[in-house]
Chain A
């Protein structure tokens, strides 16, 4: 038994060491730094909650947090609404031999650079971009789409629909068709079957994908920076602003800890349904 325990510890030791070295220790350092403060251009260590107080009382700082949560929530909901029907279509309507190709097509956007994809959207949504040119043919526009929150949400959604499609698809193909048959035998309409049987059973896939979307989206700097035109700041942009020339690492650390806390809250809200093994 002791040998088995030792073997068990031996097997998990590399992962534990890795996590300790590259997550726990850096996070502890960041947490400690978040309670430091600046004197002139020098970081002074100590226990000062000033950075956190400022993050929640200075409107320009708090607004970045609100913007981040609003954008991330919008992206997550829109992505789920688009991904579920897409995943269901691939799982139920596309013949089995074509499903791989369909999934491949669904994840194609992952193959291009994230930055390049964001700049591409900027060109597509611009005044002289393909969308406005299309509207012009109909005698409409031009519409201001680039450098807006709409552009940021669109850029994010384009990426995350693909991710969610994969997690929901993985859930759907494991569902036995007998659930739907049983519900319909008992007199449920197709809509009721979908709402009361299928949807709840795919909840783990939806929540898993939604949680990953939330985590990646709220921590992303590139998309709002390129597509949002800096017309509103998100938390990662505010963190970068603190670093740049000023080097206010304590404030940047405090904002990073807040970002982490928001993600932890999201995890708490989803924990019941989370199935990260489905990723």
Chain B
């Protein structure tokens, strides 16, 4: 008698993993890639269905990969500063560099030091923006927002919200103390404790993307530390009073990359999807995604963006912003743990 149990298990396993049909592409993404306006042109042009699964946090994404079978996932979006981490874990496959239009990118966004390892291109930058200061210009003095020290001066106590992600916020605190984000280490983390606690004391809440947007839009807070165009752009139409700036101490640049997952079931289609995402058309759609906006890495997307969209994204100010913004800290494991512990202590102070 043929044992039925393994067949049942196989059937259950198939149900639990993404569809593997020829005409389907499985993508592990951030919420901005779930916008139909971004996916539909690729789906129609290639007669394919793109199945997307959202994740937050690199470790969570890696856990999903760990629990999947090889071939379950074709492409993955990842924080550019974590590309090395994924490559070390053998989670990304190399892509032919010549197939990617990086020559059309803003030079600072090619980020070869992050995306290229041992001469092989494992990921390509697709979108970027800034973690700085968002504010309601009718309720605060915009000049005050040009200086990070104003936030803890007492003038805006109880009117400040903090974006709930330790990397950019600790980065901003470091900039206030004159420490470059690349120089943050377990050794100098102690010097960030007091200013971080002071910022916390002056703030009303620490919140995720949606709660931060809600707080700023409803006037619950007037300033959002760690905000930027990604926070205010989708609110700009209904809340023209919301603005953002990079203070004199600088701001942080967030960047996200996309790559082909090692062992992808459809590597050619996966590469095609990556090429679409970094093409001017894909970049323009991704920049204006319904979840959050951000600058496209490919400069040629500018030809497809409306003047209004470019104004919201501060297209013309990018040379100045890029010069004044620093990348996220890339902590080693020990520093990362110390940073998270400091963040937890700040939340539960």
A: residues with CB less than 8 A from B are 38, 40-41, 59-61, 63-64, 67, 119, 122-123, 126-129, 144, 146-147, 225-226, 229-233, 238, 241, 243-249
Interface string of B210-236 (1 = CB under 8 A from A): 110011001110000000000000000
B337 at the interface (CB under 8 A from A): yes
Chain A residues lying within 8 Å of B215, measured Cβ to Cβ, are: 147
Asked whether, in the complex, the Cβ of A246 is within 8 Å of the Cβ of B214, the reply is: no
Chain A residues lying within 8 Å of B340, measured Cβ to Cβ, are: 241, 245-246, 248
Chain A residues lying within 8 Å of B164, measured Cβ to Cβ, are: 230
The closest CB in chain A to the CB of B85 belongs to A41
Known contacts A41-B85, A230-B206, A232-B347; decide if A245 and B218 are in contact (CB<8 Å): no
Chain A residues lying within 8 Å of B206, measured Cβ to Cβ, are: 229-231
Chain B residues lying within 8 Å of A38, measured Cβ to Cβ, are: 333, 337
Asked whether, in the complex, the Cβ of A61 is within 8 Å of the Cβ of B336, the reply is: no
Q: How far is the CB of B140 from chain A (nearest CB, A)?
A: 15
Known contacts A126-B220, A229-B205, A244-B60; decide if A61 and B344 are in contact (CB<8 Å): yes
Q: How far is the CB of A241 from chain B (nearest CB, A)?
A: 6
Can you list 30 A-B pairs with a CB-CB distance of less than 8 A? A38-B333, A59-B348, A60-B345, A60-B349, A63-B348, A119-B210, A119-B211, A122-B211, A123-B214, A126-B218, A126-B219, A127-B220, A128-B220, A144-B204, A147-B204, A226-B211, A232-B348, A233-B347, A233-B348, A238-B344, A241-B343, A241-B347, A245-B57, A245-B59, A245-B340, A246-B59, A246-B336, A246-B340, A247-B57, A248-B337
Chain B residues lying within 8 Å of A59, measured Cβ to Cβ, are: 348
Bound: A243/B57 CA distance, A: 8
Chain B residues lying within 8 Å of A128, measured Cβ to Cβ, are: 218-220
Chain A residues lying within 8 Å of B141, measured Cβ to Cβ, are: none
B62 at the interface (CB under 8 A from A): yes
B208 at the interface (CB under 8 A from A): yes
B268 at the interface (CB under 8 A from A): no
Chain A residues lying within 8 Å of B211, measured Cβ to Cβ, are: 119, 122, 225-226, 229
Chain B residues lying within 8 Å of A123, measured Cβ to Cβ, are: 214, 218
Bound: A231/B58 CA distance, A: 25
B54 at the interface (CB under 8 A from A): no
The closest CB in chain B to the CB of A238 belongs to B344
Known contacts A147-B220, A230-B207; decide if A60 and B348 are in contact (CB<8 Å): yes
B21 at the interface (CB under 8 A from A): no
The closest CB in chain A to the CB of B200 belongs to A231
The closest CB in chain A to the CB of B158 belongs to A144
Contacts A67-B348, A147-B204, A232-B348 known; 15 new A-B pairs at CB < 8 A: A38-B337, A41-B85, A63-B348, A122-B211, A127-B220, A144-B204, A147-B205, A230-B164, A243-B57, A243-B59, A243-B60, A244-B59, A245-B167, A245-B336, A245-B340
Bound: A264/B172 CA distance, A: 43
The residue among B57, B85, B334, B343 with the most chain A CB atoms within 10 A of its own CB is: B57
Chain A residues lying within 8 Å of B345, measured Cβ to Cβ, are: 60
Q: How far is the CB of B197 from chain A (nearest CB, A)?
A: 12
B341 at the interface (CB under 8 A from A): yes
B63 at the interface (CB under 8 A from A): yes
B56 at the interface (CB under 8 A from A): yes
Bound: A146/B220 CA distance, A: 8
Interface size for chain B: under 10, 10 to 19, 20 to 34, or 35 or more residues?
35 or more
Asked whether, in the complex, the Cβ of A40 is within 8 Å of the Cβ of B333, the reply is: yes
Interface string of B39-76 (1 = CB under 8 A from A): 00000000000000000111110110000000000000
Bound: A247/B55 CA distance, A: 13
**Lowest 7 CB-CB distances: which A-B pairs, in order?**
A247-B59, A229-B205, A230-B206, A244-B57, A40-B333, A147-B205, A60-B345
Bound: A243/B345 CA distance, A: 16
Bound: A184/B246 CA distance, A: 76
Asked whether, in the complex, the Cβ of B218 is within 8 Å of the Cβ of A127, the reply is: yes
Within 8 A of A (CB), among B247-306: none
Bound: A63/B347 CA distance, A: 10
Q: How far is the CB of A224 from chain B (nearest CB, A)?
A: 11
Bound: A249/B66 CA distance, A: 13
Chain B residues lying within 8 Å of A225, measured Cβ to Cβ, are: 208, 211
Within 8 A of A (CB), among B167-210: 167, 204-208, 210
Q: How far is the CB of A268 from chain B (nearest CB, A)?
A: 28
Known contacts A41-B85, A60-B348, A61-B344; decide if A231 and B205 are in contact (CB<8 Å): yes
Q: How far is the CB of B1 from chain A (nearest CB, A)?
A: 19
The closest CB in chain A to the CB of B204 belongs to A147
Q: How far is the CB of A125 from chain B (nearest CB, A)?
A: 9
The residue among B57, B220, B332, B340 with the most chain A CB atoms within 10 A of its own CB is: B220
Chain A residues lying within 8 Å of B208, measured Cβ to Cβ, are: 225
Asked whether, in the complex, the Cβ of B337 is within 8 Å of the Cβ of A64, the reply is: no
The closest CB in chain A to the CB of B166 belongs to A245
Chain A residues lying within 8 Å of B332, measured Cβ to Cβ, are: 40
The residue among A231, A241, A245, A246 with the most chain B CB atoms within 10 A of its own CB is: A245
Chain A residues lying within 8 Å of B349, measured Cβ to Cβ, are: 60
